[in-house]
C-alpha cells in the first residue's frame, strides 16, 4: 500500500526540547522487549466487553464474543454480567463457531486457530501462522503429478511469498459440520480442513477454483452442500465427488462478506447492503431486498428457519420468508455491528463498542 509522506512543522524551541527528551529517554528508559502476539496471552481488562469484538456465538445457553487483542468474553446470565476467558494469544480474533455447549473454535489474525472444551472459558492453540505457512509449503511441494503445472507453480509462489512475510495472514471464518469435520478459510485463498476436530489440519489450497487467490470471507454448509463466499463476487460450492470447491456464477461482482445456508437455501451478503439468494444450490440467484445500503457484516439461520443479518451501520434485519423480504428491528442502542448470533429470542450482537443483547420479536408467518 502506498502512502504519502507528510512533513510536520515543529517550532524550533519545541524541536530542541523534544530532542533532549528523546536523548534522555534513550539513556534512562529500560529496554522494551518485543513479544509476538502469538507468544503473548491476551491481557485482562475490565473493559474487554466494551471494546472491539468482531464475533458472536452461543455455547449452549452461554453467550460468547471475541475480537481485538485476543479478547474473549462470555456471559451465563443473558449479558447481565461478563467474564473474560483465558486466551493464550493476543492476536485479533475474527470468527467463532460452536458445535455444542462445550466444543468451539475461534480463528483470527496471524493464522490463529483456537479450541475450547469448556464452552469458551479457556482456549488452546490448535494452529498458528508459523505452522500454517510450513504446512502449506510442505503440501504444495508434494502435489500429485497430474496437477496442472501452471496451477502448481502459482500455488508454490504464493506459499513462498506468504512464508517470507511471516505468520501475518488472517483466518476469517470457521465452520464445523460436526465435532470432527471442519473448515477454516482466510486471506489469499487460505483454506484448511480437519477430520479430527482440529488435532491436525490439512491445506486445501489446490482444491478451490480461485486462480486469483481472492480472499475467502465466509464458509457455511447444510445438508445441501458446503459453500464459500469471497472477494470480488467469488462463490464456491464443494463438489463431494471430486473433493473440490467449484466456482458458482453470481450476478454480483462486489465482495461477499459471508453467507447463510440451510436446506433449500443459500444466501450470500456483502457490500452496500447487497444480498442474493439461491433456491437451487447456487445454480441461479435472485436479489434479496435488504432495504439497507450499509455493508452487511454478519448473519445467522435461526432454529425456526428465520434469517438474521446485521450491518456496519447498526441495522439488524430478520426474514421470515427465506430472504424474499426483510424487516428492520427497532434497537435500544445500535452501533456498528460485525457479528450476530441468536438462540431462542435472545440476540447477541458484537461490534465496535463491544456487545449488545437484544430480543427478537415473534415470528411473522408469510401469508
pLDDT tens digits, 26-63: 445 556 677 899 999 999 999 999 999 999 999 999 99
Under a CB-based contact definition with an 8 Å cutoff, are residues 170 and 109 in contact? yes
Q: Is the pLDDT score of 4 beyond 70?
A: no
Question: 257-269 pLDDT, tens per residue?
Answer: 999 999 999 999 9
Residue 133 lies in a domain: yes
Q: Is the pLDDT score of 155 beyond 80?
A: yes
pLDDT at 146 (0 to 100): 81
Q: Is the pLDDT score of 159 beyond 70?
A: yes
Residue 189 lies in a domain: no
Q: Is the pLDDT score of 252 beyond 80?
A: yes
pLDDT at 25 (0 to 100): 40
Under a CB-based contact definition with an 8 Å cutoff, are residues 292 and 273 in contact? yes
Q: Is 310 exposed, middle or buried (0-12, 13-18, 19+ CB in 10 A)?
A: buried
Under a CB-based contact definition with an 8 Å cutoff, are residues 55 and 96 in contact? yes
Q: Is the pLDDT score of 13 beyond 50?
A: no
Q: How far apart are CA 195 and CA 182, in angstroms?
A: 7
Rounded to the nearest 5°, which phi and psi values hold at 240?
Answer: -65, -30
Residue 123 lies in a domain: yes
- DSSP assignment letter at 208: B
pLDDT at 32 (0 to 100): 63
pLDDT at 34 (0 to 100): 79
Q: How far apart are CA 53 and CA 56, in angstroms?
A: 8
Residue 6 lies in a domain: no
CB under 8 Å to 131, separation ≥6 — which residues? 111
| Domain total of the chain | 1
Under a CB-based contact definition with an 8 Å cutoff, are residues 235 and 247 in contact? yes
* Mean pLDDT over each residue of the chain, to the nearest integer: 91
Q: How far apart are CA 288 and CA 277, in angstroms?
A: 6
Give percent of the chain with pLDDT exceeding 70: 91
- DSSP assignment letter at 189: G
Residue 194 lies in a domain: no
CB count in 10 Å sphere of residue 343 = 18
Extract the C-alpha cell encoding 101. 455447549
Residue 298 lies in a domain: no
Identify the domain containing residue 41 by its residue range. Answer: 34-179
- pLDDT top residue among 12 and 323: 323
Question: 276-303 pLDDT, tens per residue?
Answer: 999 999 999 999 999 999 999 999 999 9
**Band of the pLDDT at 339, cuts 50, 70, 90?**
very high
Q: How far apart are CA 159 and CA 87, in angstroms?
A: 28
Q: How far apart are CA 123 and CA 150, in angstroms?
A: 40
pLDDT at 17 (0 to 100): 34
CA distances from 132 to 157, 238, 259 (A): 16, 22, 25
pLDDT at 74 (0 to 100): 98
Find the mean pLDDT for residues 271-279.
98
pLDDT at 205 (0 to 100): 97
Q: How far apart are CA 348 and CA 346, in angstroms?
A: 7
pLDDT at 101 (0 to 100): 98
Amino acid at each position: 500500500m502506498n502512502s504519502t509522506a507528510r512533513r510536520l512543522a515543529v517550532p524550533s524551541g519545541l524541536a530542541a526540547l523534544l530532542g533532549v527528551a528523546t536523548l534522555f529517554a534513550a539513556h534512562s528508559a529500560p529496554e522494551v522487549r518485543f513479544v509476538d502476539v502469538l507468544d503473548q496471552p491476551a491481557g485482562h481488562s475490565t473493559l474487554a466487553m466494551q471494546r472491539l469484538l468482531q464475533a458472536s456465538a452461543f455455547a449452549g445457553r452461554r453467550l460468547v464474543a471475541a475480537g481485538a487483542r485476543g479478547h474473549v468474553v462470555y456471559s451465563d446470565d443473558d449479558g447481565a454480567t461478563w467474564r473474560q476467558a483465558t486466551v493464550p494469544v493476543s492476536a485479533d480474533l475474527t470468527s467463532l463457531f460452536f458445535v455444542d455447549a462445550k466444543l468451539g473454535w475461534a480463528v483470527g489474525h496471524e493464522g490463529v486457530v483456537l479450541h475450547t472444551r469448556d464452552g469458551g472459558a479457556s482456549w488452546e492453540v490448535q494452529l498458528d501462522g508459523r505452522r500454517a505457512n510450513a504446512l502449506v509449503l510442505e503440501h504444495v511441494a508434494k502435489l500429485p503429478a497430474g496437477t496442472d503445472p501452471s496451477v502448481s507453480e502459482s500455488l508454490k509462489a504464493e506459499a513462498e511469498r506468504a512464508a517470507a512475510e511471516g505468520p501475518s495472514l488472517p483466518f476469517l471464518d470457521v465452520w464445523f459440520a460436526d465435532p470432527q469435520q471442519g473448515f477454516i478459510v482466510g486471506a489469499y485463498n487460505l483454506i484448511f480442513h480437519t477430520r479430527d476436530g482440529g488435532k491436525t489440519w490439512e491445506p486445501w489450497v489446490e482444491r478451490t477454483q480461485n486462480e486469483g487467490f481472492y480472499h475467502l470471507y465466509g464458509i457455511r454448509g447444510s445438508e445441501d452442500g458446503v459453500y464459500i463466499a469471497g472477494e470480488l463476487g467469488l462463490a464456491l460450492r464443494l463438489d463431494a465427488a471430486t473433493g473440490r470447491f467449484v466456482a458458482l456464477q453470481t450476478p454480483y461482482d462486489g465482495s461477499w462478506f459471508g453467507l447463510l445456508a440451510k436446506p433449500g437455501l443459500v444466501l450470500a451478503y456483502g457490500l452496500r447492503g447487497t444480498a442474493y439468494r439461491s433456491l437451487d444450490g447456487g445454480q441461479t440467484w435472485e436479489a434479496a431486498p435488504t432495504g439497507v445500503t450499509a455493508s452487511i457484516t454478519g448473519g445467522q439461520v435461526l432454529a425456526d428457519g428465520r434469517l438474521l443479518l446485521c450491518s456496519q451501520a447498526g441495522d439488524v434485519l430478520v426474514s421470515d420468508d427465506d430472504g424474499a423480504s426483510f424487516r428492520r428491528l427497532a434497537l435500544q442502542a445500535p452501533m456498528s455491528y460485525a457479528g450476530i448470533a441468536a438462540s431462542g429470542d435472545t440476540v447477541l450482537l458484537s461490534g465496535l463498542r463491544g456487545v449488545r443483547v437484544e430480543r427478537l420479536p415473534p415470528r411473522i408467518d408469510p401469508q
